[in-house]
Amino acid sequence: MKIEQLYELFLKHPAVSTDSRNIENDCLFFALKGPHFDGNKYAADALSKGAAFSVVDDNKLPENPNFILVKDVLKTLQELASYHRKLLGIPILGITGSNGKTTTKELIVAILQKKYNVSSTKGNLNNHIGVPLTLLTMNNNTDIGVVEMGANHPGEIAELCQIADPDFGLITNIGKAHLEGFGSFEGVIKTKSELYKHLKQKSGSAFIHIDNEILQNQAKGIELLTYGRSDQAQLRGELQESAYYLTIKALFPKGWLYLKSKLIGAYNFENILAAARVGLHFKVDPIAIQDAVANYSPTNNRSQLVVKGKNKIIMDAYNANPTSMAASLSNFDAINKKGKMVILGDMLELGDQTDFEHQKIVDILGTMDLDQIFLVGKEFGKISTDPKTKKFETVELLSDYLCQQKATEINLTLIKGSRGIKLERILEIL
C-alpha cells in the first residue's frame, strides 16, 4: 500500500496505537518489532479489541482483510507522520539538549497555550517512535507543534529532523550525557547540532542562549532568536535571590517583569528564559507568559521541592549526567541552610568516562558543607571517599539503613541520580 493510500485510511481512523494492550476503538495498530517483542503476533488481537486495521510486515501471517502488509512497519509509521506533517503546514518547534529539554518543552507549551492550540510531545516520548506518534496527534485544529527530540547515538537528531521537519529549533545546552553511545563529548556536540544543520538548510530560526559559546559556534548562518544574561540578548534576564523557588527578572519590550516559578535550581534559569523567548516570538502577551510560568508545576521528579514533615527535599532524580549533577550540587551548595544531606545515585551510560566522571562528583562533594552523604550504585561504589560518606549498592540497602537509624536534624536533602537507580523510592523513607 502506498503512503498516500495509507494516509486516506489514517484520516478516517486518526487514532494510532503501537501497544496491543491499549487499543483505542477504531484506531490503526502499528505492529512494531523490537529485540524482545514482535507486534505482528498481536495484530489479530488488536483487531479483536477494536482496531480498524493492523499495519504488519510479516508476510507469513494468515490473510486478513484488515491487515495492511508493508515492508517495514516502523519506517511506514515514520513516513506516514512525515507526510502528515507536510500536509498540515503548521510551524513546528524542535527541542533537544543534554539537560532540561522536557522541562523547557512543558514551559513552552504552557506559555503558547495562552494564545494557541498546541500539540506536543507527551512525557519524554522523544525517540524514533515517539516523534512520529507525536506528529500524528496533530490535526487541522493545531496551530503550533512542539516536538522534543532525544538522542543517545550519532545521527539520531538528523533522523528525527527528517521526520518532523522543524521550522524552529531550540538546543537547551550540550553536556556530558550518553557518552557511551556518542563516544565522546565532541560526538554529543555534533549530534545535538544536527538540529541547527537542518534549520540552516531550511532557512529556519533557532532560539539560542546567547551566552553559550558552544551553541553560538554551532549556530552560525542561522537566524538567531536570543535570550540570556548579556545586554546583546533580545530577551535579557537576571537571576533573583531565592531560598528555593526560582525567580527571574526579565526585560520585555515594555519593561521588566518578574517571572516567579515553582522550579528549584538556578540551572532552570535558561529553561524559563528560553520558554519566555519562544512566547515573545509568537506574540504571547508578557503578562500571560508571567502567569504561565507561575502556574507551571514540575512533575515526575524534575526539580521538585517536596515537603515531608520538617524535611524539605529537592527531588531531581528523573535523570542525571555529569553536567546536570554538577549543576545540582552547585545550586544546593549555594542554599544557605544548616543540616544538609545529599543522596546521589550512579550516572549511567558514560562508557569509558564512568570512573573519571564519578570521581569528579565525589571531589565536588568534598568541597561542600554537608552533614550526611549517601551514594547509591556500583559505579560510586568503586570510588574512594572520605569516612563520613556512606555507600550502598542499591536503593533497597540504603532504605534499610535509613529505617534503622535514629532521626537526625536534617533540614534539607538533595536527591539526584539516573532514572535506573530508582532513587524516588527513598521518598517513602524520608
Q: What is the pLDDT of residue 114?
A: 98
Q: What is the pLDDT of residue 215?
A: 93
Q: What is the pLDDT of residue 178?
A: 61
Q: What is the pLDDT of residue 352?
A: 87
Measure the CA–CA gap between 177 and 347, rounded to whole angstroms: 9
Strand (E) positions, 196-285? 205-209, 223-228, 235-239, 245-252, 255-264
Segment holding 347, helix H or strand E: none
Q: What is the pLDDT of residue 425?
A: 86
Q: What is the dihedral of CA 301, 303, 307, 310, to 10 degrees?
A: 120
Q: What is the pLDDT of residue 408?
A: 66
How distant is the alpha carbon of residue 251 from its chain centre? Answer: 27
* Spans of the chain, pLDDT less than 70: 177-182, 243, 300, 406-409
Q: What is the pLDDT of residue 242?
A: 72
Taking each helix axis as running N to C, give the angle between helix 101-112 and helix 286-295, from 0 to 180 degrees, rounded to the nearest 10: 130
Q: What is the dihedral of CA 127, 128, 131, 133, to 10 degrees?
A: -120
Q: What is the pLDDT of residue 334?
A: 86
The model carries a pTM of 0.85
